[in-house]
Chain A
Amino acid sequence: MALTRGFSGRSRGTHDTRLPPGQYDAGANWPVLHVESTPSIDTARWTFEVDGLVDSPARWTWDEIRALPASRYEGAIHCVTTWSKFGMRFDGVSVDTLLDIAGVGADAAFAVARSHTGYTTNLPLDDLTGGKAWVVWDVDGKPLDDIHGGPARLLVPHLYFWKSAKWVSGLTLLAEDRPGFWERNGYHDHGDPWLEQRYQGD
């Protein structure tokens, strides 16, 4: 569309090829955007469940999930509000490990992640498997703050960050896509930052 009169941009000559289109580097800041009031969730009562089209629904307590094989993600995250953040280190468990325990049903093709706050977000199952998704509780070596989704959040770093549900409480595997909270409010069902899939229709 139209060029913007007088705009040349700031990042001339130093454009970072790690940045997906339309994103900027937030640097040391970690912006916060969620619409619920920030909950405070007691790990003594925290649980995580995998259900829906699985061989046997599975449920973990805080101690049980942390006893599973550890898995780490190091790299970038990208928020649909246009910030990206590099050099993040998250520790938790791979979603592959959780799905292996529950056993993925033959018809499962999509998932809805849910939170202790009632938030939901939908993802294709392929985006949760193959080493691309985690349930994480530490960031840069420290426990995840409430405001960033602690005690544990979903982490799907190759998609826009609203897919990485804060305060995550479970995954339901489905045969068909079922839009979650933001997706029903106009955001994209897939959310690939490199394709700028921000809103429905992108």
Chain B
Amino acid sequence: MTAVDRGTAPHPGPWQTARVTGIRRETPTAKSFTLTLSEPRAFWPGQHMIVRLTAPDGYRAQRSYSIASAPSESAELDLTVELLPDGEVSSFLHDAVEVGDVLDVRGPIGGHFAWDLRPALGVAGGSGIVPLMSMLRRARALGEPDLFRLVASVRGPEDLYYATEVGGPQTSIVFTRTVPDGYARPPGRLTAPDLAAALDTDRELYVCGSTAFCDAATRLAVAAGVPTERIRVERFGVTG
């Protein structure tokens, strides 16, 4: 049995530079950027990094992006960035950044959503899969893949991040609009049976997605008997 990570998740260090050493397209609106940090920092799956852009006149813009890769001994980590309509930073990262560029980064940030290796189920809506992918990769890298199970909800096959890697016995994909040929589950939103199939006793829940998705997933989990104190939620997106 793997020891649970004790204590609290690592705190952010100072700003540092990172070189972009790889760019990979995940979906039509998402890219993963491999960053090589000048000063490697330990992190836990579920934490995020801040990326800061600086213009010649001193204007700055910064945003947080979840780490998608598993912790390792290397100085590299992957951030997956969804291209947001009108997103000043995401559109720059998608359209202008190339391998070899240097970015200011800081992190890791976030403690509550960080995974301490207790058996867990991740429930992802859309791009909410990013921090959960770090957990899935961590469990697999430890050789204990059942430590982390994943239910990921996406609209259609073209919207699934990490499509060639994410599948496996611990993963189930919920397609809400269109399904791949031959897929047994009909298209439709996340349901109680989708969660029940992946739940067992004493599993921590990590829910990440839009506010609407997180609230729906949380309601299903509570109805399935998961105590609210075992449910961690990270939301993104906007409400009016």
Contact = CB atoms under 8 A, between A and B. Distances in A.
Interface of A: 1-12, 15, 21-22, 24, 26, 28-38, 81-82, 145, 147-148, 181-182, 184-186, 199-201
Contacts of A33: 234-236
A185 B233 contact: no
Contact of A4 (B12, B54, B211): B54
Contacts of B178: none
Contacts of B53: 4, 7, 9
Interface residues on B, range: 35 or more
A37 B218 contact: yes
A6 B96 contact: yes
Interface string B197-240: 00000000000000100110010001000001001111111111
B56 A199 contact: no
Overall SS of chain B's interface: mixed
Contact of A37 (B15, B57, B101, B231): B231
Interface stretch (B23-31, B105-113, B139-147): B105-113
A178 to B, nearest CB: 16
A36 B233 contact: yes
Contacts of B218: 37-38
B238 A185 contact: no
A29 B88 CA distance: 15
B88 A30 contact: no
Contacts of B9: 185
B157 to A, nearest CB: 29
A121 B222 CA distance: 26
A82 B106 CA distance: 14
19 contacts: A1-B104, A3-B55, A4-B55, A5-B102, A7-B53, A8-B59, A9-B59, A11-B59, A12-B57, A30-B240, A31-B238, A32-B211, A32-B235, A32-B239, A37-B222, A38-B218, A147-B211, A185-B11, A200-B11
A12 B57 CA distance: 9
Looking at A35, A147, A184, which has the most chain B CB atoms within 10 Å of its CB?
A: A35
A4 B104 contact: yes
Contacts of A6: 92, 96-97
B55 A81 contact: no
Contact of B96 (A7, A11, A38): A7
Nearest to A145: B239
Contacts of A201: 14
A3 B109 contact: no
